[in-house]
């Protein structure tokens, strides 16, 4: 078992291809497409995300976001990916493995978002199925955790379809859209069922 950093990514342009989608580390060239997708999806995303800062969709905020992503990746604390549809390279959403804990835990937390116009088309399922082998094999994690608001039926379906198992209920777990929200807790183990 690895108890220290499992990988050494000096280059932040990490990419993971699959049949339906490509996962790639965000780049500055993605700003306009990202900002447009997030803006047109604002009403769709707001109930499930932390409150957006006033300048969230600005070029400067995006640049700071990329810097934080690169620092987190270099320090093996988190890995952020944008999801691109294979057929036309359109940006459809994003996902992250964050809060990576090494040592005896070897665990990380899965987070994700999808553009409104791409929801319910299987892209996030494909993205999670692409990320899981990377998390277990390359990052050497033993456990991937996820949490979702009980009313988020689509997120529950996604997690269960990708072999995450419900493990519990956390009261006022995360501050979502300005309110402390209860969450269902899910996890997938390296030796668990395959998707």
Per-position DSSP letters for the chain, written without gaps between them: ---S-------S--EEE-SSEEEE---GGGHHHHHHHHHHTHHHHGGGSPPPPTTTTSHHHHHHHHHHHHHHHHTTS-EEEEEEETTT--EEEEEEEEEEE-TT--EEEEEEEE-GGGTTSSHHHHHHHHHHHIIIIIS--SEEEEEE-TT-HHHHHHHHHTT-EEEEEEEEEEEETTEEEEEEEEEEETTS---
| Domain span including residue 139 | 15-189
Say how many domains are in the chain: 1
At 41-54, the pLDDT tens digits run 999 999 999 999 99
Instruction: Kindly state whether residue 4 falls inside one of the protein's structural domains.
Output: no
pLDDT at residue 1, rounded to an integer: 43
Can you give the pTM of this predicted structure? 0.91
The CATH code of the domain that includes 21 is 3.40.630.30
Instruction: Kindly state whether residue 84 falls inside one of the protein's structural domains.
Output: yes
pLDDT at 108 over 90: yes
Band of residue 194 on the pLDDT scale cut at 50, 70, 90? low
C-beta atoms surrounding 128 within 10 Å: 26
Instruction: Kindly state whether residue 144 falls inside one of the protein's structural domains.
Output: yes
- Mean pLDDT (the chain, rounded): 93
Instruction: Kindly state whether residue 83 falls inside one of the protein's structural domains.
Output: yes
Q: Find the mean pLDDT for residues 77-99.
A: 97
Instruction: Kindly state whether residue 106 falls inside one of the protein's structural domains.
Output: yes
pLDDT at 9 over 60: no
At 57-86, the pLDDT tens digits run 999 999 999 999 999 999 999 999 999 999
CA-to-CA distance for 55 and 53, rounded, in angstroms?
5
Instruction: Kindly state whether residue 194 falls inside one of the protein's structural domains.
Output: no
> Phi first, then psi: what are they for 107, rounded to 5°?
-135, 160
Q: Who's near 68: CB < 8 A, 6+ residues apart?
A: none
Instruction: Kindly state whether residue 41 falls inside one of the protein's structural domains.
Output: yes
pLDDT at residue 32, rounded to an integer: 98
Instruction: Kindly state whether residue 99 falls inside one of the protein's structural domains.
Output: yes
DSSP string, 40-72: HTHHHHGGGSPPPPTTTTSHHHHHHHHHHHHHH
């Amino acid at each position: 078992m690895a108890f220290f950093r499992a990988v050494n990514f000096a280059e932040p342009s990490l990419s993971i291809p699959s049949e339906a989608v490509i996962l790639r580390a965000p780049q500055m060239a993605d700003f306009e497409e990202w900002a447009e997708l997030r803006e047109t999806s604002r009403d769709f995303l707001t109930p499930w995300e932390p409150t957006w800062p006033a300048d969230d969709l600005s070029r400067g905020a995006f640049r700071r976001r990329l810097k934080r992503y690169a620092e987190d990746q270099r320090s093996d604390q988190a890995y952020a990916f944008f999801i691109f549809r294979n057929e036309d390279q359109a940006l459809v959403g994003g996902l992250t493995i964050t809060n990576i804990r090494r040592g005896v835990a070897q665990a990380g937390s899965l987070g994700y978002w999808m553009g409104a116009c791409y929801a319910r088309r299987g892209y996030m399922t494909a993205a999670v199925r692409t990320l899981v082998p990377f998390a277990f094999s390359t990052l050497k994690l033993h456990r991937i955790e996820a949490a979702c608001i009980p009313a988020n039926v689509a997120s529950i379906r996604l997690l269960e379809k990708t072999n995450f198992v419900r493990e519990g209920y956390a009261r006022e777990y995360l501050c979502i859209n300005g309110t402390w929200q209860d969450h269902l807790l899910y996890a997938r183990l390296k030796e668990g069922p395959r998707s």
